[in-house]
Amino acid sequence: RPAPAGPYRLALGIRDRLLAFEVTTEAGEPAGAFLLSLTPFRQIFKDYFQICEAYFDAVRRLPPAQIEAIDMGRRGLHDEGSRILLERLDGKVETDMATARRLFTLLCALQIRG
């Protein structure tokens, strides 16, 4: 069935160790819901959190050039996580890389909370 017209609201959460997406219209009408396995993200989360930790340590004690190098690596991992997310969302929702980057940031926040 065709999706109702947007804009949409998205509720993200972890349910039974799966990533839960619940999409509604601004009026609150259901537009779709699905679950994604977090398994494909495990290594990228681990690597991303390690490099973020290195970045925060570097900010306190390293020169700007080294901080920039670590930040470039962090951005690269963020992009990789976003690409994995785009692949996993294919056939479920249409989105672009900029939105996938924002969603990956939210996924990381959910991992920290969980």
The two tokens of residue 55 are: 């970045």
101, 86 Cβ separation under 8 angstroms: no
73, 51 Cβ separation under 8 angstroms: yes
Res. 2 pLDDT band, cuts 50 70 90:
confident
* CA pair distance 95, 106, nearest whole angstrom: 15
How would you list the strands of the sheet with 18-25, edge to edge? 8-15, 18-25, 30-37
92, 70 Cβ separation under 8 angstroms: no
Task: Please state the pTM of the whole predicted model.
Answer: 0.87
pLDDT at 3: 75
Res. 6 pLDDT band, cuts 50 70 90:
confident
In this predicted model, what pLDDT tens digit does every residue of 29-74 receive, in sequence order? 999 999 999 999 999 999 999 999 999 999 999 999 999 999 999 9
In this predicted model, what pLDDT tens digit does every residue of 65-107 receive, in sequence order? 999 999 999 999 999 999 999 999 999 988 999 999 999 999 9
* CA pair distance 46, 59, nearest whole angstrom: 20
Tell me how far CA of residue 21 lies from CA of 5, 79, 103, in angstroms: 18, 21, 11
3-state class of 10 per DSSP? strand
